[in-house]
Amino acid sequence: MSETQDQEQALREAICAVMRAMEQRGLNRGTSGNVSARWGDGLLVTPSGVPAQDLTPQSIVRLDAAGAAPEGALRPSSEWRMHAGLYARRSDVNAVVHCHSRYATILACAGRPIPPAHYMISVSGKATVPVAPYQPFGTAALADTAAIALEGGYACLLANHGLVAVSKTLGRALAIAEEVEEQAAVYHGALAIGGPNLLSEAQMADIFQRFKDYGQG
Ligand SMILES: [Zn+2]
């Protein structure tokens, strides 16, 4: 295999590993989540309707810049337009993780952004994880609203739908999705016992500075 083929194969394997990790960590059930990585001027994305345990590197679908797949490829995730739209709008993003994890989805259905109740909300890149306005799944409009909500950060909720996390690498996007789900659970729990004491803008600015000094950016 050429170096490029090796790299593509490694990325296909990494996408399968992220899907399995999401299933194991309870972020996903059945066939609801999808994962992609930027590849050339297109992307590699999970196929539609294949459970994580049945995914193989070869089942991952390569799409070109126009969204076309090679002959014989499986059908791509119904959310491929959102993935493609995010790569088109965010040159800093090479990986997109989308899931319907329980607490993030509860808040998304309630139309509630996740405020800074806990300092680790900062992994999302912003003090609050916003909610992108509702758009039907599979539409290019969903990419537009998600991109706007993601501006300046790495995660957002999709109203009445779920969660999306983006980053430079698949591992980092998975870690952000996992932490945002945890933050959603903490906020949900705090609301149930009278509501959280939110961190102030100054306290969150201090946290971002500390992470910067710590070398986490
Ligand atoms: Zn979805």
CATH of residue 180's domain is 3.40.225.10
Strand order through the sheet with 34-39: 61-63, 42-45, 34-39, 95-99, 162-167, 155-158, 131-132
Coil, helix or strand for 181?
A: helix
Spatial distance between the Cα atoms of 41 and 167, rounded to a whole number of angstroms: 17
The DSSP output letter for 161 is T
CA 138 to chain centre: 15
User: In sequence order, what are the residues at sequence separation of 6 or more whose Cβ sits closer than 8 angstroms to the Cβ of residue 136?
Assistant: 142
| C-alpha 167 – ligand 1 centre gap (Å) | 18
Task: Tell me if 216 is assigned to some domain.
Answer: no
pTM of the model: 0.95
Residue 112 C-alpha from the chain's centroid: 18
Q: State in Å: Cα 101 to ligand 1 middle.
A: 10
- 95 occurs within a structural domain: yes
Is residue 171 a part of any domain in this protein?
yes
Residues constituting the chain: 217
Residue carrying the six token digits 């983006």: 166
The answer to whether residue 187 sits within a structural domain is yes
Contact between 98 and 34 (Cβ < 8 Å): yes
Ligand 1 midpoint to CA 78 (Å): 8
The verdict on whether 79 is a catalytic residue reads: yes
Does residue 217 belong to any structural domain of this protein?
A: no
Whether residue 147 contacts residue 158, with contact meaning beta carbons closer than 8 Å, is answered with no
Ligand 1 centroid to Cα of residue 210, in Å, is 34
Cα(137)–Cα(100) distance, integer angstroms: 12
CA of 215 to the centre of ligand 1 (A): 33
Ligand 1 centroid to Cα of residue 175, in Å, is: 18
90 in a structural domain = yes
Question: Catalytic residue among 3, 23, 71, 79, which?
Answer: 79
Per-residue pLDDT of the chain (217 residues; tens, 9 = 90+): 688 999 999 999 999 999 999 999 999 878 889 999 999 999 999 999 999 999 999 999 999 999 999 999 999 999 999 999 999 999 999 999 999 999 999 999 999 999 999 999 999 999 999 999 999 999 999 999 999 999 999 999 999 999 999 999 999 999 999 999 999 999 999 999 999 999 999 999 999 999 988 754 4
Residue 163: inside a domain: yes
Helices marked H in the chain — which ranges?
Answer: 3-24, 80-89, 102-110, 140-150, 170-192, 201-214
**Residue 82 CA, ligand 1 centroid: distance in Å:** 10
Domain count of the fold of the chain: 1
Closest-CA residue to 77 (of 42, 100, 49, 58): 49
Helix extents (H) in 135-200: 140-150, 170-192
Residue 78: which domain range? 3-211
8 within domain boundaries: yes
Q: Collect all residues with Cβ–Cβ distance below 8 Å to 130 and sequence separation of at least 6.
A: 113, 149, 153, 156, 157
